[in-house]
Amino acid sequence: MSHSLDCIMKPNAVAVIGASTKPHTIGSDLMKRLIEYGYKGKLYPVNPKGGEIEGLKAYPSVLNIEGPVDMAVVVVNAKYVLATIDQCHEKGIKGLVVISAGFKESGEEGAKLEAELLERVRRYGMRCVGPNCLGVVNTHPDLRMDACFAESLPMRGGIGFVSQSGALGGGILNILQDLGIGFAQFISIGNQADVNAEDALEYWEDQDDVKQVLLYMESIKDPANFRKLATRVTRKKPVLALKAGRSAAGASAASSHTGSLAGSDRAAEALLRQSGVIREYSLKQLFSTAKVFDNCPLPKGDRVCIITNSGGPGIMATDSVIDYGMRMAELSEATKETLRSFLPAAASVKNPVDMIASAPLEHYRRTLETVLADDGVDMVISIYLPFLGLKDTDVAHTLMDIKEAHPEKPIVGVFMTKNEFFTEISKGRVTIPFYMYAEEAVDGLARLNMQRKWMERDEGRVVQFEVDKERVAGIFSAVRADGRKELTTRESLDVLEAYGVRVCRAKFARSEDEAAAAAREVGFPVVMKMTSKSTSHKTDVGGVRVNIGSEEELRAQYRDLVAKLSERGILDGLEGVIIQEMVKSNRELVCGVAADPQYGPMIMFGTGGVFVEVMKDVGFALAPLTDADAHDLVRSVKAFKLLEGARGTKPADIARVEETLLRLSQLVTDFTEVQELDINPLMISNTTGEAIAVDGRIKLA
């Protein structure tokens, strides 16, 4: 056996410890399932009473079994599990599937028991699925192992499915069968004491019969390892995830813009996206996407052709194609001429191709074959509405026949007909995904296109810049020595400058005269900002004065600032003022960092200024960023259109914007104590297109 999970997923001999003759018990149902599904290996029921179970000799102990055993399915009371594992080790068994409950899900005592279970598994060199799980399945015809107690017997297919919830996993297996979607392997990880989703991903990476991976997850134990594995696997096959637990608990406690907009689900979203995992938000969508990957190849491009016998659904499908950023295929003149040769004069041969309501079966066949032959078409949606006695199943079988002859392009069917059609068609071999609504079909094609783009996407690299790390370490040490967590504006800008972020020209001043001298040196107009050890949000206390055009005005503004701080009783914290160049910009962005307790630092980018938390036009990505991640993050927000230049505005230096994000990523990777960081605003100069940090705020853990 070449992989450590082979002993569980490809066992030559299985012992069911806790097998029973008592009906409707797990020990009884597991034995029946293994036998009914036709397990090809040797099967040994184990029960202290011995005797016979399901026509097989039962053994009082696993130690009484004569031959070798690869895997034990354990269905005994939790208090006997540890002793059972000891016996399995003595027998030489390397694989365990612990169905038994009563571990960490049951409280403190159960958690201790689970810790002891894991210690034994590690010490004995075993692998363990569970505890508190539904079991495992491998539908390969050479094995046919159904070692779980879901209601339905499994159907052969190409899905590798891992579920953190046993009951939900069983329900999903039942639904997949009803939808006519089969799977190759199934693992219910339960409490995932040992085997988790990452292990399943790594195992299925090189399993040829696993064509796509479905994940139901409530938590990700090791986000960094998951990212590494998933990034690799998704370049070979699709990985779809239904990630539950989307609350943003804890985000309200954050004090920065970045922190308040972040949340646990933002981090999970970023992790899955950066790993190439296609995230779904409902079981319905998960099945819908699995269906399209199960029956379609990846397209060569994003050009969609729609053929229909009704104009309305064709128009709705067109709108949906455009909404997803895909393109409507432009049919060649030769294709249009061929279509005109057999379609009625009232038909439209432009895309969408409307064959009109009278379209017979022959028109469906010839139209589909014609558009598939067009090199400008990458994907096809065929829409059917019941007219003039044309039978839905006849159309469906015609489409599937054409699919057999043209397997190179995705074909999706939209059948706006009775539900009975979907039940009837699923009784046979289905080779095309069929949907009730056009929007569902376009969703499926969009997922195919996402996978294509991911596999074509540059993998990217983590860039290392020359930075002044010692300077930043010194600033952080001084802040901690001062008993503070928040850096002053001056300290924050110094940190950014040390990491090569372009900050605006500035001078620090401790008095009115120093401020006037600094302004003369920087050059009017200037901005004056207070920097305080006690107040971090400057705008709330009038601590930012902009567009100061003369020395006289500057002195007046300085005196007014001191008076306002004195009135509020916060003058003691004033460290001084920063005199900055006045950057003229009508494009204000924000970038920053928020540290998630589980996933680590997240980089934020989006629309900035005072409306950042109102507009919420921001995107997140987990550090460390690759250059490809930075490229995608900058383009993920609506604000990107502002960077490209509009109405004569100087286009932004987008490469420098991306570099700013990469430098922030390097900063928080080097200094994990950075809890929150905001550059707001990051201004795009109207004259040069430069990205300039005009304000910074950093908080340490």
Q: How confident is the model at residue 570, as a pLDDT?
A: 86
496-535 burial, b for 16+ CB within 10 Å, e for fewer?
Answer: bbbbbbbbbebbbbeebebbbebbeebeebbbbbbbbbeb
DSSP 80: G
Model confidence band, residue 608 (pLDDT cutoffs 50, 70, 90): confident
DSSP 355: -
Name which of 254-258, 269-273, 547-551, 671-675 the model is least confident about.
254-258
Q: Is the pLDDT of residue 107 over 60?
A: yes
Q: How confident is the model at residue 610, as a pLDDT?
A: 65
Q: Is the pLDDT of residue 169 over 90?
A: no
**Domains, the chain:** 6-218 (3.40.50.720), 301-456 (3.40.50.261), 469-581 (3.30.1490.20), 588-700 (3.30.470.20)
Closest CA to 502 of 637, 700, 685, 641: 685
Sign of torsion over alpha carbons 518, 521, 524, 525: negative
Q: Which amino acid is at 660?
A: T
The number of beta carbons lying within 10 Å of the beta carbon of residue 337 is 12
77-113 burial, b for 16+ CB within 10 Å, e for fewer?
Answer: ebeebeebbeebbebebbbbbbbbbbbbeeeeebeeb
What's the 3-state SS for 246-266?
Answer: CCCCCHHHCCCHHHHHCCHHH
Distance from CA of residue 264 to its chain's centroid? Answer: 13
Q: Is the pLDDT of residue 258 over 70?
A: no
| Contacts with 7 (C-beta within 8 Å, 6 or more apart), sequence order | 1, 70, 71, 93, 94, 95, 127
Q: Is the pLDDT of residue 406 over 70?
A: yes
Greater confidence, 501 or 171?
501
| Contacts with 119 (C-beta within 8 Å, 6 or more apart), sequence order | none
Model confidence band, residue 144 (pLDDT cutoffs 50, 70, 90): very high
Name which of 13-17, 224-228, 262-266 the model is least confident about.
262-266
Q: Is the pLDDT of residue 348 over 90?
A: yes
Name which of 311-315, 334-338, 365-369, 542-546 the model is least confident about.
542-546
Distance from CA of residue 619 to its chain's centroid? Answer: 13
Collect contacts of 354-361 with beta carbons under 8 A, ≥24 apart. Answer: 354/308, 354/309, 354/310, 354/311, 354/314, 355/307, 355/308, 355/309, 356/309, 357/309, 357/310, 357/385, 357/387, 357/388, 358/387, 358/388, 359/309, 359/387, 359/390, 360/390, 361/390, 361/394, 361/395, 361/398
